Amino acid sequence: MTTSVIPGYGTILKRGDGATTEVFTAIAEVTEFNPPEISLKTDEATHHGSGGWEEHIGTLLSGGEIGVKVNWLPSDATQDEEDGMLHDLLNRRKGNWQAILPGGAKGFQFTALVTKFKPSTPVDKKMSAEFTLKVSGAVSTFTPS
């Protein structure tokens, strides 16, 4: 049987501008990132009538953290300290984001803070950088238009 899996090439990470009618712009030269990792926190709720087995309840959902790797373009408006991801970090800006899967069939929307910037400038390779997004609030799916 032939697989129907889709390659990750073409996945897009977009950052919202915060305007009333929000416009999302693709982050330049993203080389790797993963959509939000959704997890459920639990609390142990065992009691004397649990029959000797632990019981757990689900409490809070978390969108976790998203690592974003880019070819670092220090003057690019989507990455720089004036308007881009580095600006968001330096100004503690919580913003809206979209992750759109290849082919535009499905996307994820979430709000996040940029919490880390790690540039790399090796003498024998391209400049690159890693950003970390900390999801704050709900993660939802949508069909891109």
**Ranges of each domain in the chain:** 12-44+54-142
Q: What's the pLDDT score for residue 31?
A: 97
pTM of the model: 0.90
d(CA 54, CA 47): 8
How does the average pLDDT of the chain come out, rounded?
A: 96
What are residue 86's phi and psi, to 5 degrees? -65, -35
Q: Whose CA is closest to 96, among 87, 108, 106?
A: 108
Superfamily of domain 12-44+54-142: Hcp1-like (2.30.110.20)
C-alpha 69/C-alpha 21 separation (Å) is 28
pLDDT band at 103 (very low <50, low <70, confident <90, very high): confident
pLDDT number for residue 66: 96
Percent of the chain as helix, strand, coil, to the nearest 5? 5, 45, 50
